[in-house]
Amino acid sequence: MKKLYFVVVALFLGAGIASAADFPSKPLMHIIPAKAGGGFDLSSRVLTTQWEKLLGQPITFDYSPGASGEIGFSKMLSRPDDGYTTIMTTIAMYAMNVNTGTAKAGWDQVGFIGNLISDPNVLLVHKDSPYKTIEEFLEAGRKAEKPLTISTSHPKAVTTLAARILIELTGINAKVIAFDGGSKARNALAGKQVDACIGPYFSSSSKKEFIRALASFTKKKVYSGVWDVPTMSEATGKSFPNLVEPFAFMIARETIKDNPEHYQKLVTTFKQAATSPETIASAEKQGMASFLDYWSPEECDAYVQEFQEVWDKYKHLME
């Protein structure tokens, strides 16, 4: 009987080792919770070309836009927890969805493989704007009888939170004009329909012939290749939160628990791909190399906690 027991255990352990070694044995699905051709799509492709080589299997893309990403996340969470399904969005965006009740699944159900890119939010004005510096913009805002207008990407977006924090901490007379999409918000600024806009640096740089940045919502100075600007904290002397858009690859947390070997292989190969010369070269062609910013799963979780502290402090501004 003991002999039979050990044989069964050996077979079970052997099957587990083989399963981990063979993973993945079929193509993976990577969900883009947006339309093809956008930032999530382009940045994912920068990574997956090299990641496919390391995994030994192709990665197919599934485009599931709508409901602030909820359609894509619902699809991911409905699939088996075997490590074959991933999704990309920004940590800040999903954190806003969780905190505003848009997301059905909380952080207890969604985990991280790693972060690829960090796109800092910046305050933008039209290139012909009379405000040449953040100081001039704020001075005009404090004296304005009619509120200055600041466009953002969505009523529940992190850009809207940033705009409301800016108004709260500086005392300017301004109001938020929330659009349904970041490109619409930036187009409004490019068309001179608003006085300013808050949006991610890299995503906004596509409109650099029409708009320019004045300051960043970051802890440290951002890439100066397109716009050389101070941080909000430096410019105002106020303690502004770090509001970046970390583009992270995510996975169902059940996968981490039920298939730890599969998960660990994804994490290890993701880091190798994200930091490889091939990925850096690919990002350079897309103009996003300066925004590459690998984070481990633990660092992603730490940013969730950091963002939650910001939300707890300023959530009254979103009511």
pLDDT at 157: 96
Query: 105-124: per-residue pLDDT in tens?
Result: 999 999 999 999 999 999 99
CA dist., res. 6 & res. 162, Å (int): 60
pLDDT of residue 126: 98
Per-residue pLDDT band for 147 (boundaries 50, 70, 90) equals very high
Residue 176's H or E segment, with its range, is: strand 174-178
Whether residue 10 has pLDDT greater than 90: no
Average pLDDT of the residues in 24-44? 95
Q: What is the pLDDT at residue 297?
A: 98
Fold entry, domain 2-119+245-318: D-Maltodextrin-Binding Protein; domain 2 (3.40.190)
| Comparison of pLDDT for 16 and 119, the residue scoring more | 119
pTM of the model: 0.91
Whether pLDDT at 214 is above 90: yes
pLDDT in tens, 151-175: 999 999 999 999 999 999 999 999 9
Q: CB burial class (10 A; 0-12, 13-18, 19+) of residue 109?
A: middle
Amino acid 19: pLDDT: 57
What span, in angstroms and rounded, lies between the C-alpha atoms of 290 and 169?
30
Q: What pLDDT does 3 receive?
A: 53
* Domain ranges, ordered by start, for the chain: 2-119+245-318, 120-236
Q: Compute the mean pLDDT over every residue in the chain, rounded to the nearest whole number.
A: 94
CB–CB of 214/229 below 8 Å? yes
**Per residue in 57-100, pLDDT tens?**
999 999 999 988 999 999 999 999 999 999 999 999 999 999 99
Domain 120-236 has CATH 3.30.360.10: no
Distance CA 95, CA 110 (A): 11
Q: Token match 């300066």: residue?
A: 290
Q: Residue 283 and residue 21: Cα distance in Å, rounded? A: 30
Q: What is the pLDDT of residues 244-298, one digit of tens each?
A: 999 999 999 999 999 999 999 999 999 999 999 999 999 999 999 999 999 999 9
Q: How many CA atoms lie within 13 A of 273 on its CB side?
A: 26
Same fold, 2-119+245-318 and 120-236: yes
17 pLDDT above the threshold of 80: no
- Could you tell me which residues come within 8 angstroms of residue 203 by beta carbon, excluding any fewer than 6 positions away? 39, 119, 182, 186
pLDDT score at 21: 81
pLDDT greater than 50 at residue 198: yes
Report, as an integer, the average pLDDT of 19-37. 92
Residues in the chain: 319
Question: Which two three-digit tokens encode residue 246?
Answer: 């970390």
